[in-house]
Chains A and B, each alone.
Chain A
Amino acid sequence: MILVKNMTKLYKNGQNEVAALKEVDLHVKEGEFVAIMGPSGSGKSTLMNIIGCLDKPSAGEYFLDGKPISQLDSRRLAYVRNKKIGFIFQNINLLPRINSLRNVEIPMIYAGVLPNERRKKAMEALESVGLGDRWYHKPNELSGGQKQRVAIARALVNSPGIILADEPTGNLDSKSGAEIMEIFANLHRAGTTIILVTHEKKVARYAQKVVTFLDGRKVEEISSELL
């Protein structure tokens, strides 16, 4: 369960301050699938980073499973990022020098999964995103869409309860985009909580709820059927 209360995020840029988030409230129930929409610069990624425990709000509070995140020390935050949340970055963020398998293994390394099992799970995860034949390719040997899918496999591999996906279909054609969305739909069916940022209505329709942002404010929260 994710609960964001009256959250503001300010960025100081020299003298002037930019408010990337303004008094945002958001409630995502366990197992819920939420899409976030809004124009560029409206604060979507900023919110995702805070929910993903990568960034801290300037004001307001964020509760995860009823506990305030501001109370956690760096060790517990690392645990949450590792076990509870699977994060798919807008700019993918694969490690450039190692192959797909090793990239997908990283979250399991920090989870203490043993090497043999790790390798097996990483292979399965890559297969599930349709990259069973790209295990030993390094990121610069993959297409944009393939990289995106490695990033998805990496986010799924520790079976987290929450998936945060920041434009996961941004680099994909509609066919592979649909394939990826099937993966999210299946995860949703299996009970995973999903928050997904997108610009496409077609993608947002996979979600139950669509939240729209404008200039750092939440301006709309509707059922996806109304889209």
Chain B
Amino acid sequence: MSRNPLTAVAISGIGNSGFYPRGTSPDPDFRLVLKALFAACEDAGINPKEIDGLASYCGPVTDPRRIACALGLKELRYASLQWASGGGGTSAAFANAASAIIAGLADVVAVVRSVKMDVGARYGQFGGAYGGGSVETVSGYGFRGADKAPYGVLSSATTLSFQANRLVEDAGVPRSAFSAVSRASYHHAQQNPDALMNGRPLSAERYEESRWIAEPYKLYDCCLENDGAIAAILVSAERAKNLKTKPVHLLAAGETMSFRADSGAFNWPDLCSGAFRDLAPRLYRQAGIGPQDVDVVQVYENFVPGVVMALEEFGFCTYENAGEVLTFENLIAQGGKLPLNTSGGNLAEAYVLGMGHVVEGVRQIRGSSSNQVQDANIVLATAGPLTPMTSALILGSGDVL
């Protein structure tokens, strides 16, 4: 029997609100959140009124007090927000939800996150999604801080491109690896009816001919901008046995921030890192497995070179062999040895701050993915390469406990 305390928890429900191109959702943010929660509860066969815990990340988020009022929850016993930047906190929110159940703080915990972009407010735009109005002064050394914005380092793409250029120029990873990762996501989206890029396949030529954003990022190295919400329901493994769906267990979960990783002007030792260097070995130890045991990998793509860094840090390739390992044929669910982002991920399904990677991991273990990998029992899902704080999960079927 396993002595890993996390395996006492299972993910029993997953659901989404439907995904919409940026700014086109007919629903306001709060309704997207409720729709995702209802869908996840329906999936599990749990009455939404049974939710007694809520976990999320990357604030500001939908206020748990509003959700509890709206659903008429008899008592909300647990509400947590992980302190991540961007999608770095997805897996950590699941870890927090699981911890609450293990500690007896709550019994039915929903993890939920939405993305709703007003028309005109874009991730790439200064004063847009994160700012609001015209910004005339800046101070401090964070995102768009005084060390960055006055020099034109404004967008997420620009800010996170320095590290990627070291991956190309210093570590020698060929651009073909980026193209392969991007095309694999688009390939998977063609089988996934929920994916925003369903019906819009990406050829190697179109990838290569796409415009530069900030070198080495081309257009198709960047995540989507869209509206939508995703939720998941966690319960004890005991309770999960009696619910509608096949339980999916957490084998390992954790978050990480390495030495000085948020210091101004990129003053931490290794920029050629997706920020999983410390976490990866810890997760494998906790799960009692190694990279060779992982059947499917879901890696958060804000920008594709970060995916390559995450794959290297989790032991799926080295920078020396990345060009040979990361090929289109090898990354697709249909016969690839390293099936990656099998729903289309942030690039081609929808960008809901990494929630899509976890719920696709759940589908793979249930056997219900639109790009099903045969006998998928162990899935790695990572959140937020290149962000100062990142997190990751290893999911497993009951067969591997």
Partners in one complex: no
**Chain A residues close to B by CB (< 8 Å):** none
